[in-house]
Amino acid sequence: MKLLLDFLPILLFFGAYKFYDIYVATGVLMAATVVQMIIVKFIDGKLQTMQKATLVLILLFGSLTLALHDDRFIKWKPTVLYAAMGIALAVAYWVMKKNFLKMLLGTQMTLPDGVWGRLNVAWIGYCLFMSAINAWVAAFYSTEAWVNFKLWGYAFPIVFLVAQGLYIAPHLKSDESGT
């Protein structure tokens, strides 16, 4: 159910684009993301910082797309989001000496500090890669190619998350209470 909720706005965006155009699809994406965040807040009791940032960027870039009737804004939203995430993780890790991944997920799983550090660096690289590849597709390909990339480009995060899971699995400390 959670996975469907995560992918629903992009699937609705894709469907609206295929049946109408980028502007209808942008409005659908904005509305679907607002509904998604209301549901998430109802289920979890709060929104994570990343969810808030995503919502703000979708509403901001979506509004600019619709108001100016210029699809470049919605196409560049993922580039800005991923770049901001990568830069924030990098600055926190190398300048502030803080590992945001460990701060966010450390209560959910126990990993050695070295593993947390490598995961953080992997996330920095992943975010910067995703920012760059979206920028490349947005700049050099048609809107239709970009929309298709947004749908089928979900292979990148799936592969990254599976690889991450395989990497951390041997390092997870098991519950030794036997329950």
- How is 55-100 classified by DSSP, letter by letter? HHHHHHHHHHHHHHT-THHHHHHHHHHHHHHHHHHHIIIIIS---H
**pTM to 2 decimal places:** 0.86
Distance, CA of 146 to CA of 10 (rounded, Å): 13
Determine the angle formed by the axes of helices 72-90 and 113-140, rounding to 10 degrees. Answer: 160
Q: What is the pLDDT of residues 86-145, one digit of tens each?
A: 999 999 999 999 999 899 888 888 899 999 999 999 999 999 999 999 999 999 999 999
Q: Say if residue 108 is in the same domain as residue 149.
A: yes
Residue 179, domain member (yes or no): no
Domain that holds residue 29: 1-68
Domain boundary among 16, 42, 68: 68
Is 1 a residue whose pLDDT tops 70? no
Overall domain count for the chain: 2
Is 179 a residue whose pLDDT tops 60? no
pLDDT grade for 6, boundaries at 50, 70 and 90: confident
Token code pair at residue 121: 């660096």
Domain boundary among 16, 43, 68: 68
Distance, CA of 42 to CA of 45 (rounded, Å): 5
Q: What is the pLDDT of residue 49?
A: 84
Determine the angle formed by the axes of helices 2-19 and 22-44, rounding to 10 degrees. Answer: 170
Q: Say if residue 79 is in the same domain as residue 132.
A: yes
Q: Say if residue 42 is in the same domain as residue 30.
A: yes
Q: Say if residue 45 is in the same domain as residue 57.
A: yes
